[in-house]
Amino acid sequence: MTGSNVIIKKTKISKRTKKLIFCLALIILPLIQFAIFYIGVNLNSIRMAFVEFEGYDDAVGKIVWFENFKTVFVEMTTLANWPIMVKNSFGIWILGLVTKTPLTILISYFIYKNARIGGVFKVILFAPSIVSVMVTVMLYEYFIDTAVPELLESSFGIIMEVGFFKSPSLRFWTIFFYGFWCGFGTSLLLYTNAMDAISPSVVEASHLDGVGYMQEFWYVTMPMIFPTFKTLIMVGSAGLLLDQFYLYEFYGMKAYTDIQTVGYYIFKETMLVNATGYPRIAAMGIIITCVAVPFALLIRYLMNKVDPMEG
Amino acid sequence: MWAKKDKPSKKITVAQVLIISFLVFYIVILLIPLVWGALTSLKSSSLELRDNMFGLPRRWCFENYSKAFENLYVETTFRKEPYYLGEMMFYSLMYAAVSALVNTITFYVVAYARTRFDFKFLTVLDGIVLVTMALPIVGNLPSSIMMFQQLNLADNFFGMTVIAKMNFLGMYYFVICTAIRGIPRAFSEAAEIDGANELQVMFKVIFPLTLGIFFTIFIVKFIDYWNDWQTPYIFLRNFPTATYGLWVFKDNTLFELPQKLAACLLVVLPILLIFFIFHKKLMGGISLSEGVKE
């Protein structure tokens, strides 16, 4: 009796150990990858912010403590382009929030309520988001820069002396419109799929209570898709200081200062400098992360406050 | 206001008219540059555009598409000969296929381990993915570049498609977790009673039931990597992909505009084909609340 218990226990232990070994075998490589390329990269980035490299091959560097932060801080507070870049980064996010987000939700609701005709619109609206940004950028740029001025001149007699991408008053809006032109895709898909997941019985019950379609949108659909809405807002707020606003695709390294964003500037600087310039960018990154993280957490807190499912 | 899902109403409301008008207007605006681009790609040269900007090509130059393969190239410091479009499209295919496969397998195996085993330490995986998704870390690209260079993974096809893509961070981890959780435990338990080992349970029981999700994520990631031009630009200059090539062609005045537009359409063609074949799977499938539906 005791002997068989021992055998059963041994078998159980070995089975669990086998499971543990198998489980570890599955996750070990991805965990090592994560340790090196996420934790390692970010720790190295922090380390780099406190050192100075003396040459291209100098991987260790000399510790200079807060010198890089001082340099970046002086740059941020004295150079005129920093306030513009910060304003642009937040401005683009807010503009998208008040224009694109409501429109996407409204179109999604239309698609949800008109399955047949809406399905066609859904395919067409989603299609640009699967096309490479380089393809859409090229088509848009050539069309706006060569075809539209010709059209304006031949149809309305308007002669454009400076192209859309160069004109100081038009260049920001030309690129903002590009984001609008091909940027409904993923969020539209997520909203329509979230709406499709609403139980028809909930909708029917609301109609039995005499709820109209606008009321249904506001009191049934919106609360039901709120998790999707919240996630998209939070992801957007977390990435707003990383957003390059397609400037590198359109202008390469030569984007005009008045339309640059923080994300573009950091990317451009990284491409522009060699290893000796990296510590400055690492320090810049840490300062900006110190702004981005609390902002993302604030948005998360606010979204949880207004979430109808919370509390 | 709108009708479906319940009684269809024949009344067309102002809101409905407004939204349909907006959508039709939007689609026209969306299609005009595409149609213009397709027509321009068939014109004889940039000179023809000066007096025939919007008309049909005077001569339909389908040879622009073959010329794009012969004339558009990227030069690098890695070798003397330039890289032509055909070679770059081959690199795109290799980069996208290998990266998508490695990335999808990684998502799958980590999600599998998380959902099929009850070891407490596995809950940390959810936290890792959530935190990395929510925390915006700015300015770590220089560190990445240095790290990849020091490990000899930069400009290294294996390094950038296998090692760099072996990560499980992102939404698809949760998508696969949700899908595997939906499979009753009884299935794997029955297989275990029949003597199947862990590997057999994974490949012969669970994987066939989640093959649809695996395939959908593979397609989504394939499209992502096919379109990705910044990673090859930063880390894989000796394997220039077609989208990176487009970025180089864009401002190069040596190349004719019709051929550049022909290159654009050639690069987008495989993705459009994939999209039209699998659009129901790709579009109906993914949602933030439910993961992927089969």
Measured CA to CA, the distance from residue A95 to residue A175 in angstroms comes to 13
- CA-nearest of B216, B220, B213, B105 to B165 is B105
Measured CA to CA, the distance from residue A168 to residue A158 in angstroms comes to 17
What counts of helices (H) and strands (E) characterise chain A? 16, 2
- CA-nearest of A245, A3, A242, A215 to A109 is A215
pLDDT score recorded for residue A71? 96
CB pairs under 8 A between A and B: 266
Contact yes or no for A292/A238 (Cβ under 8 A): yes
pLDDT band at B13 (very low <50, low <70, confident <90, very high): confident
**B291-292 and B286-287 beta bridge pairing:** antiparallel
Contact yes or no for B180/B70 (Cβ under 8 A): no
- CA-nearest of B25, B50, B250 to A150 is B50
The CA radius of gyration of chain A, in Å to the nearest whole number, is: 26
Distance of CA B202 to CAs A250, B77, B101, B187, B194, Å? 47, 46, 17, 11, 14
Contact yes or no for B260/A138 (Cβ under 8 A): yes
Measured CA to CA, the distance from residue B200 to residue B153 in angstroms comes to 34
Measured CA to CA, the distance from residue A94 to residue A42 in angstroms comes to 29
* pLDDT over threshold 90, residue B58: yes
Measured CA to CA, the distance from residue B119 to residue B204 in angstroms comes to 23
pLDDT band at B20 (very low <50, low <70, confident <90, very high): confident
Q: Which of A29, A37, A142 sits opposite B261 (nearest CB)?
A: A142
Measured CA to CA, the distance from residue B183 to residue B187 in angstroms comes to 8
Complex ipTM above 0.95? no
Average pLDDT, chain A: 91
Instruction: Sketch the domain layout of chain A as residue ranges.
Output: 2-48, 80-272
Interface with chain A: mutation pick from B22, B48, B140, highest number of A CBs within 10 Å: B140
* Residues in chain B within 8 Å Cβ distance of A239: 136
**Do the chains contact at A203 and B283, CB–CB below 8 Å?**
no
* pLDDT over threshold 90, residue A135: yes
**Do the chains contact at B4 and A271, CB–CB below 8 Å?**
no
Neighbours of B94 (CB within 10 A): 14
Give phi and psi for B199, each to the nearest 5: -65, -40
Angle between helices A222-239 and B123-134 (to 10 degrees): 70
pLDDT band at A57 (very low <50, low <70, confident <90, very high): confident
Measured CA to CA, the distance from residue A241 to residue B119 in angstroms comes to 38
Which tens digits make up the pLDDT trace of B225-276? 999 999 999 999 999 999 999 999 998 888 999 999 999 999 999 999 999 8
Contact yes or no for B27/A121 (Cβ under 8 A): yes
**Do the chains contact at A38 and B264, CB–CB below 8 Å?**
no
SS3 for B286?
strand
Contact yes or no for B219/A39 (Cβ under 8 A): no
**Do the chains contact at B246 and A203, CB–CB below 8 Å?**
no
Neighbours of A269 (CB within 10 A): 18
* Residues in chain A within 8 Å Cβ distance of B199: 22
Q: Which of A114, A130, A281 sits opposite B4 (nearest CB)?
A: A114
Contact yes or no for B153/B159 (Cβ under 8 A): yes
Contact yes or no for A172/A258 (Cβ under 8 A): yes
Q: Between 1.10.10.10, 1.10.3720.10, 3.40.50.720, 1.10.443.10, what CATH number should domain A80-272 receive?
A: 1.10.3720.10
Which tens digits make up the pLDDT trace of A201-253? 999 999 898 888 888 999 999 999 999 999 899 989 999 999 999 999 999 99
**Do the chains contact at A293 and B136, CB–CB below 8 Å?**
yes
pLDDT band at B217 (very low <50, low <70, confident <90, very high): very high
**Do the chains contact at A19 and B145, CB–CB below 8 Å?**
no
Question: What part of B 255-284 touches A (C-beta under 8 Å)?
Answer: 257, 260-261, 264-265, 267-268, 271-272, 275, 279, 282-284
Interface with chain A: mutation pick from B26, B118, B131, B137, highest number of A CBs within 10 Å: B137
Question: What part of B 3-32 touches A (C-beta under 8 Å)?
Answer: 3-6, 16, 19-20, 22-23, 26-27, 29-30, 32
Interval B88-101 mean pLDDT:
98
> Residue A182: closest CA among chain B residues belongs to which residue?
B30
**Do the chains contact at B264 and A48, CB–CB below 8 Å?**
no
Neighbours of A23 (CB within 10 A): 21
Q: A3: exposed, middle or buried (C-beta count within 10 Å: 0-12, 13-18, 19+)?
A: exposed
Contact yes or no for B194/B131 (Cβ under 8 A): no
**Do the chains contact at B227 and A133, CB–CB below 8 Å?**
yes
pLDDT score recorded for residue B3? 45
Measured CA to CA, the distance from residue B175 to residue B55 in angstroms comes to 48
The number of residues in chain A equals 311
Contact yes or no for A124/B30 (Cβ under 8 A): yes
DSSP designation for B82: P
